[in-house]
Amino acid sequence: MSEFNELELKPINDLLDLSFFIPAYQRGYRWSKRQVTELLDDIKEFQQQAENSNKNAFYCLQPIVVKQHNGDWELVDGQQRLTTIYIILTYLKNILTLLGKSRYELSYETREESAEFLQDINEERGEENIDFFHIVEAKKAVEEWFDAQDGTYKVNFIQTLLGPHDSKKSVQVIWYQIDETENVTEVFTRLNMGKIPLVNAELVKALFLKSSNFAQDVNDSNIKKPIQDLQQLRISQEWDTIEKRLQDDAFWYFISNKSITTNRIEFVLDLASRELDSEGIIDTDKLKIFLTFNRLLSNSDDKDKPVDVASEWLKIKQCFMTLEEWYNDRALFHLIGYLVSQRVSIAQIFDLHQEALTKYDFRQSLLKLVFSKTFNGKEIDTLSQEWLDERLNAFTYESGAHKLRPILLLFNVASLLANPATNARFQFDKYKLDSWDIEHIRSVASDMPNSKDKQKAWLENVVAYISSDESKEAEESGVDKNSQELSIKLEATELLQATNFNNDQFEAVYDRVRAHYDPDGNEDVDNSIGNLTLLDSRTNRSYQNTVFPIKRARIIALDKKATFVPLCTKNAFLKYYSQQVDKMLYWEAKDSEDHQRAMVEMLLGFFQGVGVHQKELGHE
């Protein structure tokens, strides 16, 4: 759609003297009873809210897209809404006549009988065609709805429906007039295919690019036309630049958890509109952002109090630039990215930013909030090594992912920030787009796969590992190691190729594999946080409950392909945290203890600035 289409808000009252032409490319009326009833309910709810408000308010219908057509208005989009309003006005036409008002006119390029039928809806003709049927059903819905209301409500309703701009309450439409050069069929197709929906972002863009916003103080607009065009072009280009930047998933998932691919700029518009006057606009209105900016920019036509559109655009741009500044600051990127992942809104972070006197204060506020979100509302003053030891000891597999995931994620964030010599960043986009499980590093021996498919998959992983280079390069654990592995491989292969898969044979192979690769597997199940890590669900499902060396080989293979593996997950399987590395193919109780100890030391240093890059976190 053209960047410079015009739009404004119009009360339904201002449409009553207009004529609308519905072209052939549009289908007939198809609203259901439910949709009609929902519209009536929304208007009634608005009316009740407006009566309790001290400010003029309005209920806004979705956009009506029009183009001038032989003195009338070609209705490119919005036929269903305008037809429903027309049916309501037809039902209330006696009251309409008493008020000295008439209905707007609807005409059709190919369905001329529909215009006549709408003026006097005869239920007996409802079966003549599909359009008449839906019109009759809508009329019945209107009648049933009003029958359920108070007897005098019709007058109150129509006063609200047809309230003018300056009334206490009114129903309005977003009037979107497309340029004369637009191809209406293409516009209609794009709108109805959902490729360029008239959402908040599209409508706010049109508000800022209205020609009337520019060169208001110029006597001869022709002389200053290049300046006007340049201002429009600059805002348009900057808008497109912001939209393009937001399409970068690394940036988007730093500030948001929502998996959306279009209209991401609406996120920035919502932030920028927080300080604007939105009183009287229903909070649940899907177009609240647009309506808020429209209220602000509608004053640009007021010569006594003109709105500087360029200045208002600058505020939006500065809002975006703040987000980009945070993204480019490595410490803020990790602190804010972590908080957003824990469902802290960017709006709340903006509030902290505005309250802070210095960058140091801001970062300290973020640290305190990180501590609170990680440890269930506790104050950072609570922190000590003894307290942290006790807290992490209390976290077990039974604590649930909602408690464990923040700790393990923060362990990764703190580990990355602890090294000032690297520019490595946590990939919040990969973390949010993939599904991450809390997985045992050393699997629970008793959780033997119980279905035939899972048992076969488990055996296939064993055979693949024994055949791999990882197994051949593994540390020697005994003189008969190779012969034992070869025997296990042959037995597993034979079972996989057998005509009848024998469960007892599988259990025997399972026990042999566990005994060879996990000789201490009969120990108590280790559900401590030291034996837990973040693992993507795809890997977890395909390698579920397999032994440590097979999981380790899988992590190494992913890392070789540059597939995202959280730093601390990789470190754990490479045994970087273990004080003794003489047994690389085994994960023992002491490895879990060392892993948990590393968590305590890293998190303590993160919050206290010990062993953390202090300059990055604002410590001087």
| pLDDT tens digit sequence for 172-217 | 898 888 877 777 777 766 666 554 456 788 888 888 887 666 654 4
Mean pLDDT of the chain: 84
Tell me which of 164, 196, 228 is where a domain ends. 196
Alpha carbons 5 and 174: distance in angstroms, whole number: 13
C-alpha to C-alpha distance for 605 and 394, rounded to whole angstroms: 20
Quote the pLDDT of residue 16. 94
Phi, psi angle pair for 384, to nearest 5°: -160, 165
How far lies 357's CA from each of 270, 347, 366, 373, 608, in Å? Answer: 25, 18, 14, 23, 21
Does residue 353 sit within a domain? no
Which whole number is the average pLDDT over 253-281? 91
- How sure is the predictor about 285, in pLDDT bands with cuts at 50, 70 and 90? confident
Alpha helices in 127-220 (DSSP H): 130-147, 153-161, 184-193, 200-208
Mean pLDDT (whole number) for 350-359: 95
Q: How confident is the model at residue 228 (pLDDT cuts 50, 70, 90)?
A: low
Residue 504, pLDDT above cutoff 50:
yes
- CA dist 347 and 350 (Å) reads 5
CA angle 429, 434, 437 (to 5 degrees): 125
35 has pLDDT over 90 = yes
Residue 38 counted as domain residue: yes
Q: What percent of the chain has pLDDT over 90?
A: 43
Spell out the alpha helix ranges (H) of 17-165: 33-51, 79-91, 93-98, 112-119, 130-147, 153-161
Instruction: Decide which of 133 and 182 is more confident.
Output: 133
pLDDT of residue 178: 82
DSSP state of 123: G
Question: Which residue segment(s) compose the domain that 482 sits in?
Answer: 428-608
> Does some domain include residue 251?
no
Yes or no: say if 232 and 209 are a contact pair by the CB < 8 Å rule: yes
Between these two residues, 188 and 249, which has the higher pLDDT value? Answer: 249
**pLDDT score at 305:** 63
pLDDT digits (tens, 9 = 90+) for 152-164: 889 989 988 998 8
What is the CB neighbour count within 10 angstroms for residue 590?
12
State mean pLDDT over 592-603: 96
Determine the average pLDDT of the residues in 300-315. Answer: 75
Buried b (16+ CB within 10 A) or exposed e, 87-119: bbbbbbeebbeeeeeebbbbebeebeebeebbe
Single residue among 179, 196, 213 that ends a domain in this structure: 196
d(CA 606, CA 415): 8
Q: What is the pLDDT of residue 495?
A: 86
- Compute φ and ψ for 67, nearest 5 degrees: -145, 140
Would you state the pLDDT for residue 50?
A: 77
Q: Which residues of 354-380 are buried (b: 16+ CB within 10 A; e: fewer)?
A: eeeeeeeebbbbbbebbbbbbbeeeee
- 82 against 615, higher pLDDT: 82
Element (H or E) spanning 330, and its range?
helix 330-341
Q: Does residue 618 fall inside a structural domain?
A: no
pLDDT at 288 over 50: yes
Question: In angstroms, rounded to a whole number, what is the distance separating the alpha carbons of residues 445 and 451?
Answer: 16
Give the number of domains in the chain: 2
Looking at the predicted structure, is the pLDDT value of residue 525 above 80? no
Residue 195 has a pLDDT of 44
Region for 263 from its dihedrals, namely left if φ exceeds 0, alpha if ψ lies in -120 to 50, beta otherwise: left
Query: Where a domain ends, among 139, 174, 196?
Result: 196
Question: What's residue 478's pLDDT?
Answer: 44
Query: Is pLDDT at 383 greater than 90 in this prediction?
Result: yes
Burial class (CB in 10 A: 0-12, 13-18, 19+), 522: exposed
Encoded tokens for 136: 């009759």
Q: How confident is the model at residue 484 (pLDDT cuts 50, 70, 90)?
A: confident
Residue 277: predicted pLDDT: 86
Is 550 domain-assigned?
yes
Does the residue 576 lie in any domain?
yes
Q: Whose CA is closest to 543, among 467, 464, 610?
A: 464
The neighbour count for residue 581, using CB atoms within 10 Å, is 11
Residue 105: inside a domain, yes or no?
A: yes
Residue that the structure tokens 């497109």 belong to: 240
User: How far apart are the C-alpha atoms of 59 and 277, rounded to whole Å?
Assistant: 16
Token pair, residue 451, equals 């279905």
* pLDDT for the residue 427: 95
**296, 207 in Cβ contact below 8 A?**
no
Higher-confidence residue: 471 or 383? 383
pLDDT at 439: 87
- Residue 55 pLDDT grade (very low, low, confident, very high; cuts 50, 70, 90): low
- Residue 421: alpha-carbon gap to chain centroid: 34
Q: Which residue has the tokens 């609406």?
A: 266
Report the distance separating Cα 98 and Cα 143, nearest Å.
Answer: 20
CA atoms within 13 A on the CB side of 340: 25
| DSSP 8-state assignment for residue 577 | T
What average pLDDT does range 141-160 have in this prediction?
Answer: 91
Cα(459)–Cα(546) distance, integer angstroms = 9
DSSP code at position 188 = H
Write down the pLDDT at residue 33. 94
Residue 233 maps to a domain? no
How many Å apart are CA 415 and CA 426, to the nearest integer? 10
pTM, full prediction: 0.75
Q: Using CA of residue 131, residue 137, residue 141, residue 142, what is the dihedral sign?
A: positive
Q: Residue 492: pLDDT above 80?
A: yes
Strand 532-536, strand 436-440: pairing: antiparallel
CA dist 608 and 420 (Å) reads: 16
573 Rama class: left (phi>0) / alpha (psi -120 to 50) / beta: alpha
Sequence-ordered alpha helix ranges (H) in 247-308: 249-255, 265-272, 288-297
